[in-house]
Structure 1
Amino acid sequence: MAMTAEDVSRFERSRHRLEAIAYRLLGSASEAEDAVQETFLRWQAADLGRIEVPEAWLTKVLTNLCLNQLTSARARRETYVGQWLPEPLLDGDPMLGPADTVEQRESVSYAVLTLMERLSPNERAVYVLREAFDYSHREIAEMLELTESASQQLFRRAKQHLADGRTRTEVDEATARRIVDEFILAATSGQTESIVRLLTADAVSIGDGGGKVPARTTAILGALAVARFLRGLFKPTAAKRVYLGGPADVYAWPVNGEPSLVVLVDGEVVGVMCLEVGADGITAVRSQANPDKLVRATELFAVAEHGEPLLTIL
């Protein structure tokens, strides 16, 4: 039976929700879009008259596609060059999904998306569906073909794994901007001590260049080591000018709900630096520089009202 305009419309009404689920599961906007498109093809080929609850059917198909993809992604990431970090999404991107509760906002934070790499595919799926989209364990069990008790157990395990590695403190917009302003001032002061004062003693810096651009292949550990690295990173040099091909404009912009810096050269996002904030200071600096993971950020930034840069590195 040919698909009607209403059938297409029903799918399109679910698209943003499906993309938000897929992004949380995969940590990649481009892979999320591919998974949603494959879900549409399955919808197109299905006997729609036999589908009683379209939203549940679409979510089940999408989730299982993502689970299959997560299994193969783990193998690919074993050969990934350097550190792997998720694809960052600028605040305002509809793929971030619901953000009405603390749990929903945390589930898409850059810190939690990174930590979710510790979870098994099923743990990740249960956590996302329950924490971010408020599906019941009965509904999740039906989607993943588990028992309800198994879903509850997977959720408890996922929460524990994430709690073990999370120190994030939620900050409001004004506090986030103040943190970024202080960070920029310290990083450009040339004084290591100024940066150290903003960091926790066990702070970590992680960069993802994907083998496409220079980036440390190992994490930098400890406040002093991180501060020294950041001091050098923000120091203008002739070599950086040649490499970048022009001045770099640095903007304050929340990314995945975290205080962040967005760096542009000639209108293209070339780096995103997310600051994870704990009760005692900045606990982690995660920098995404892989150009393959910054395409969507460039597209959104181009149409957003972003004002003047905080800093231009000449």
Structure 2
Amino acid sequence: MTDTRPVLVVTNLNDPTADVVIAELHDRDVPVVRFDSGDFPASLSLEAEITQDGIQGRLETPSRTADLDHVRALYYRRPTGFAFPHLDEQDARFAIAQARYGLGGVIASLECLYVNHPHFIGDAEFKPSGLAAAVKAGFQVPRTLITSSPDAARAFIKAHGAVIYKPLWNPVYQVDGVSCVVEIAEVTAEDIDDRVAGTAHLFQKRVEKTADIRVTVIGPRTFSVRIDSDLLDWRIDYSRLRYTPVPTPPEIELSLHEYMDHFGLHFGAFDFALDANGQWWFLECNPSGQWYWLEPETGLPMLAAMADLLERTT
């Protein structure tokens, strides 16, 4: 019997990764309803009733309708935020809150597979939580300080030598009309001044790495890729990267899935630093990270693995 339940894909209009996943699902005759929660209520409507049988109702876009009690999986990518530009500031703030807790609450309450659940994404995006979970899962984690104290920052740097600064979250800045982010950078004790007291900062002992490793976990499948470059942060210039698929050590495999289970994730993009002794050092896991660009570079069947997961064949 044909499974007619759709996969919901929640993302923005310009998401090439979602595009290829949807195309693959279409090729498999899997129904898909794509929408951006930021389109609510202009071109996305909601009707949901809480009953003894669960949530019933529908989401409607200009071209698709999804029955809320008839969803196979929900692929939560990168939707835009709610906006009510026609309202004054106070009314817009109220409307945004109602949309977040209304539509957002319904989206988070379906009886389906989430890749990933939006609440779990939020939990896993806190770097201190991720680092603590990584230690618990058995990963090697560089010594890390989170502080607003200039004295503590200087003492940490003096104790550990080479130390890097990382933003705890990376909002987009506009500089001369161009979007940019705060880059990871090595810091010295002399770089630290009283401005550190203005907010929280993350400092981490630098791993003397020979390469980086990106591990993409898609359901039960694990794809590890060695990334060679001369960059401290390989994400700042993709043209200087070389990719090599590598096996995932068994102990790393176990820790990956323990980490995923801790946060309730079905997808994760993990970053490791590889040192000269072959040790994998956990840096972070992005529960909404990019992954498809690696498939053309390596030939790894990552798209098929994601479609299998959403189709519920795994």
TM-score tier (shorter): under 0.3
More strand by share: 2
State the structure with more CA Rg. Answer: 2
More helix by share: 1
What is the TM-score when the length of structure 1 is the normalising length? 0.24
What is the TM-score when the length of structure 2 is the normalising length? 0.24
